[in-house]
Structure 1
């Protein structure tokens, strides 16, 4: 039986999606949704990375788009430098009169 939740996704477009979650009482993954396996280099024995194996209690590809979210207006997208589009980030030590 799936355990559903609502999430916001940003790819390929922002949307609200209904997605499956791992079983919190799963004896194999303890609710994480997968098991991590560390592995090392064969010759040196040094740490080389981690592999992640999904658990059988969860299907990470099971999702359904509920509602596409609107895009930002074009005039807000132009100011992608993190500044306020109305210019209130510009400070001055001049008096207002």
Structure 2
């Protein structure tokens, strides 16, 4: 049985996709979809990364529902990111 949900994908392009979810009552992964295994460096014992082991209850089934349009270039490249409360944009006087 599939448990479908709508997700937003960002790679390779923004889109809405329909995806299967892990079984919420799975005793192996508690509904997360897999198990993390942290490991360390052999010489120092410091944290070196995490491996992800997918659970049998989750699948990689996905289907594209709606490709989302890109923002126009003039909306993506704004160079004037002024702080609205900064000294160059508004007064520092309190409103009370």
- What is the TM-score with the length of structure 2 in the denominator? 0.73
Q: Give the superposition deviation at 1:42.
A: 4.2
For residue 73 of structure 2, what is the aligned residue in structure 1?
A: 74
Q: How far does residue 14 in structure 1 lie from its aligned partner after superposition?
A: 0.6
CA separation in 2, counterparts of 1:55 and 1:45?
A: 27
- For structure 2, list consecutive stretches of 5 or more residues without a partner in the other structure: 92-96
- Alignment root-mean-square deviation, CA: 2.5
Alpha-carbon spacing, 1:73–1:48, altered in 2? closer, same or farther (3 Å): closer
Distance 2:67 2:45 in 1: 48
**Aligned counterparts of 1:32 and 1:55: Cα–Cα separation in 2:** 9
Q: 1:42 to 1:74 in 2, by over 3 A?
A: closer
2:89 matched residue in structure 1:
91
Corresponding residue SS for 1:76: helix
Deviation at 1:39, TM superposition (A): 3.0
Runs of 4+ in 1 over 6 A off after TM superposition: none
Structure 1 unmatched runs, 5+: none
Q: Which residue of 2 aligns with 1:17?
A: 17
Equivalent residues, number: 87
Where do 1:33-72 residues align within 5 Å?
Answer: 33-42=33-42, 45-59=45-59, 61-72=60-71
